[in-house]
C-alpha cells in the first residue's frame, strides 16, 4: 500500500494527515503550541515548538493508522506563510519567528516602498509590501536587533524550517516564497534587484523550486525523532493557501475556494500572472507548476470566532464539557435562532489589523449597532456575518478583474459549520460546494507529495482522482436581499473609522 503524509505547520499547531494513493484519510494527528504576544499587535512563535509538534504529529498518524514507516512513500509540507525564521552559521535559531499576523513593521514597509517604488514592487512581486510579509521583518531586525542581524546566515519560512530539520536542506517553494516581497513572482525566482536594493545577501536565501519537486530525504537524526524511515522522500510543498487550494481541487480557471481557517482566504486559480492594480489582492505563484493565483485575505476569520469563544463563551464551554459536545456547535445553534442581519448588529473582524481590501495594520475590531435587544446569540451571529462580509470584499475584487467564477468550494475548519456556510452562500448569492476532502492544506501537501513521488503524473490528476463533491449549500433567497443591505452598511464602516484607527494606534503606542 502506497501512503503519503502531508504536514501543516499551522498557527495553532502542527497537523499531519496520512492518506493512501486514492486520497482516503487513514489518520490525522494535531499537536498544539502557543502563540506569543510580547507587545500589542506583535505575534511570535518558537520554531522549536513547531519541530516538537511536528515530531509528535508524525508519530501520531503512524501509531493511529498502524501504517509502517516503510510504506510511507513521501512527505509533503505546508504551513503558515510569511514568518521570519533566522538561523546562524550552525543552523541554530537566532530569535523567535515573527509571524504572518504580526503588525510591527509599518515603518519598514513604507521605507521599502519608498526605496523601490510601488509600481516596481507590483510589477516584480505582484503585491505591495505589507506588515505581514517577510522582507520588512528582516529590515526590522536589522534596525532593532543589530546583534542578531550580524549573525544571520540563513533565512527560512516556517514550513521550510521543518523541511530543514527533516532533511538538512535549505529549500523553499515558489508559492510560499511569493509571500516574502523578495520573489520575482512572474519569473518564479528570487529577485536580485530587490534583494540588492535591500542589502540582503542572496546566499542567505534558500534554493527555490516548484512545489511538487523532491528536494531531499529524511535524515537518520530526523527519522529517530519522528518515527519516519530514513531516506523517505521529502517534497518542497507549498504555502498553506496554495496547498489548501490543491487540497480543494482549485487547480483550474473558474474554480474559487474559500478557506475558513484562522485567517479567511478567497482564492482564484490563474494560468497567467495577473495583478490587482492597487495591490488589494495578492498575486502569488500557485503550487501548481507554471501557474499563479489571486488571493484576498481576511486576517481574522476563524480567529474572530475563536476570540469570541475564548472571551464570551464560558457557559457554552461548560455545557460542551459536560455533554462531550463541540462548543462551536453550541454557539452556532444559538446564533441560528437569530434573524439574518442580527437585527442591525454589525461586526468588523479587524482584530489583528486587516489585509484585504484594506491593508491597514491599525484597523481594529468593532461591534456596531448594539441595543438592549441584542443578546449573546446576536453577537455570535454578527461575528459569523462580519467575517462573511469581509470575504465578500475579497470576492468582489476578484470579480472586478474579470475572473470567471464557475463554482465556489469552501474548506477549512469553519466549513464544518452549516450555519456559517449558509451565511456565506447567502451573502455571496451563490451555491457553495463542500468536498469529501476536508483537511485542506495538509491534504493538499500530501497530494503534492504524491506527484513528486510518481504516484500521479501531475497535480490535476492527483486532484481528480481523490477529491469529490460531498455537499451543496444553496443561498436562502429571502436572506440575499437582507444581506445585500447589511453589506452596504458594513462597507461604509471602515471609511468612517479609518482616521480614528490611526489615532487609536497612536494612543496605544504612547500609553
Confirm whether 72 is domain-assigned: yes
Q: Write out pLDDT tens, residues 91-138.
A: 999 999 999 989 899 999 999 999 999 999 999 999 999 988 999 999
Residue 326 to residues 320, 397, 414, 419, 450, Cα–Cα distance (Å) = 6, 35, 13, 14, 33
Helix (H), strand (E) at residue 173 = strand 171-173
- Inter-residue contact 205 to 182 (CB < 8 Å): yes
Euclidean distance between CA atoms 75 and 445, whole angstroms: 8
What are residue 25's DSSP bridge partners?
Answer: 19
**Same domain, yes or no, for 208 and 317?**
no
Confirm whether 110 is domain-assigned: yes
**Same domain, yes or no, for 224 and 322?**
no
Q: What is the CA 17 to chain-centroid distance, rounded?
A: 17
254: alpha, beta or left? (left if phi > 0; alpha if psi -120 to 50): left
B/e letters for 282-315, b = 16+ CB within 10 Å, e = fewer, are bbbbbbbbebbbbbbbbbbbbbbbbbbbeeebee
Confirm whether 453 is domain-assigned: no
Q: Say what percent of the chain tops pLDDT 90.
A: 90
Take residue 395 and report the three cell numbers written for it: 470576492
pLDDT at 224: 98
For the domain that residue 499 is a member of, what is the CATH number? 3.30.420.40
Q: Cell 495594520 belongs to which residue?
A: 361
**Same domain, yes or no, for 226 and 300?**
no
Q: Is the dihedral of CA 173, 165, 131, 265 positive or negative?
A: positive
Task: Provide the 3-class DSSP secondary structure of residue 185.
Answer: coil
Q: Which of 184, 219, 248 is the last residue of a domain?
A: 248
Q: Which of 211, 229, 248 is the last residue of a domain?
A: 248
Confirm whether 508 is domain-assigned: no
Confirm whether 290 is domain-assigned: no
Confirm whether 28 is domain-assigned: yes
What does the DSSP assignment read for 22-49? T--EEEEEEEE---B-SSTT--EE-HHH
Take residue 231 and report the three cell numbers written for it: 531516506
**Same domain, yes or no, for 59 and 186?**
yes
**Same domain, yes or no, for 308 and 244?**
no
pLDDT at 217: 98
Active-site annotation holder among 240, 326, 329, 360: 240
Confirm whether 291 is domain-assigned: no
Confirm whether 279 is domain-assigned: no
pLDDT at 95: 98
Residue 240 annotated as catalytic: yes
pLDDT at 436: 84
Euclidean distance between CA atoms 219 and 435, whole angstroms: 35
Number of domains in the chain: 2
Range of the domain at 33: 3-248
Helix (H), strand (E) at residue 265 = strand 264-270
Q: Which of 229, 248, 267 is the last residue of a domain?
A: 248
- For residue 355, what pLDDT band results from cuts at 50, 70 and 90? confident
Amino acid at each position: 500500500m502506497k501512503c503519503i503524509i502531508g504536514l501543516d505547520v499551522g498557527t495553532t499547531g502542527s497537523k499531519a494527515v496520512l492518506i493512501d494513493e486514492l486520497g482516503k484519510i487513514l489518520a490525522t494527528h494535531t499537536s498544539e503550541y502557543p502563540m506569543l504576544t510580547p507587545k500589542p499587535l506583535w505575534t511570535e512563535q518558537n520554531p522549536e515548538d513547531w519541530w516538537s509538534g511536528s515530531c509528535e504529529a508524525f508519530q501520531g498518524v503512524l501509531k493511529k493508522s498502524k501504517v509502517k514507516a516503510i510504506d510511507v512513500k513521501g512527505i509533503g509540507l505546508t504551513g503558515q506563510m510569511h514568518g521570519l525564521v533566522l538561523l546562524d552559521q550552525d543552523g541554530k535559531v537566532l530569535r523567535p519567528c515573527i509571524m504572518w499576523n504580526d503588525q510591527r513593521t509599518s515603518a519598514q514597509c513604507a521605507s521599502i516602498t519608498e526605496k523601490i517604488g510601488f509600481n516596481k514592487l507590483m510589477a516584480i512581486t505582484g503585491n505591495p509590501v505589507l506588515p505581514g510579509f517577510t522582507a520588512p521583518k528582516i529590515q526590522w531586525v536589522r534596525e532593532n536587533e543589530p546583534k542578531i542581524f550580524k549573525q544571520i546566515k540563513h533565512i527560512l519560512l516556517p514550513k521550510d524550517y521543518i523541511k530543514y530539520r527533516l532533511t538538512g536542506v535549505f529549500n523553499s517553494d515558489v508559492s510560499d516564497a511569493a509571500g516574502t516581497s523578495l520573489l520575482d513572482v512572474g519569473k518564479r525566482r528570487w529577485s536580485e534587484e530587490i534583494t540588492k536594493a535591500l542589502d540582503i545577501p542572496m546566499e542567505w536565501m534558500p534554493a527555490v523550486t516548484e512545489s511538487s519537486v523532491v528536494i531531499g530525504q529524511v535524515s537518520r537524526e530526523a527519522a529517530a525523532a519522528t518515527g519516519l524511515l530514513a531516506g523517505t522522500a521529502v517534497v518542497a510543498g507549498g504555502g498553506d493557501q496554495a496547498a489548501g487550494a490543491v487540497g480543494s481541487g482549485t487547480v483550474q480557471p473558474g474554480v474559487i475556494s474559500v478557506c475558513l481557517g484562522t485567517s479567511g482566504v478567497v482564492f482564484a486559480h490563474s494560468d497567467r500572472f495577473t495583478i490587482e492594480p492597487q495591490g488589494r489582492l495578492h498575486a502569488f505563484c500557485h503550487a501548481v507548476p507554471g501557474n499563479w493565483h489571486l488571493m484576498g485575505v481576511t486576517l481574522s476569520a476563524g480567529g474572530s470566532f475563536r476570540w469570541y469563544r475564548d472571551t464570551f463563551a464560558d457557559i457554552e464551554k461548560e455545557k460542551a464539557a459536560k455533554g462531550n459536545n463541540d462548543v462551536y456547535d453550541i454557539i452556532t445553534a444559538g446564533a441560528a435562532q437569530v434573524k439574518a442581519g442580527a437585527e442591525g448588529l454589525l461586526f468588523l473582524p479587524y482584530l489583528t489589523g486587516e489585509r484585504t481590501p484594506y491593508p491597514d495594520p491599525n484597523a481594529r475590531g468593532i461591534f456596531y449597532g448594539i441595543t438592549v435587544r441584542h443578546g449573546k446569540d446576536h453577537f455570535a451571529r454578527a461575528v459569523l456575518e462580519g467575517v462573511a462580509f469581509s470575504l465578500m470584499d475579497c470576492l468582489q475584487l476578484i470579480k472586478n478583474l474579470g475572473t470567471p467564477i464557475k463554482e465556489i468550494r469552501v474548506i477549512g475548519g469553519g466549513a464544518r459549520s452549516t450555519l456559517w456556510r449558509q451565511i456565506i452562500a447567502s451573502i455571496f448569492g451563490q451555491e457553495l460546494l463542500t468536498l469529501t476532502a476536508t483537511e485542506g492544506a495538509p491534504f493538499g501537501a500530501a497530494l503534492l507529495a504524491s506527484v513528486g513521488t510518481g504516484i500521479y503524473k501531475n497535480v490535476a490528476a492527483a486532484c481528480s482522482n481523490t477529491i469529490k463533491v460531498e455537499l451543496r449549500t444553496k443561498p436562502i433567497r429571502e436572506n440575499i436581499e437582507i444581506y445585500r443591505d447589511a453589506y452596504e452598511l458594513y462597507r461604509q464602516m471602515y471609511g468612517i473609522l479609518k482616521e480614528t484607527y490611526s489615532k487609536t494606534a497612536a494612543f496605544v503606542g504612547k500609553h
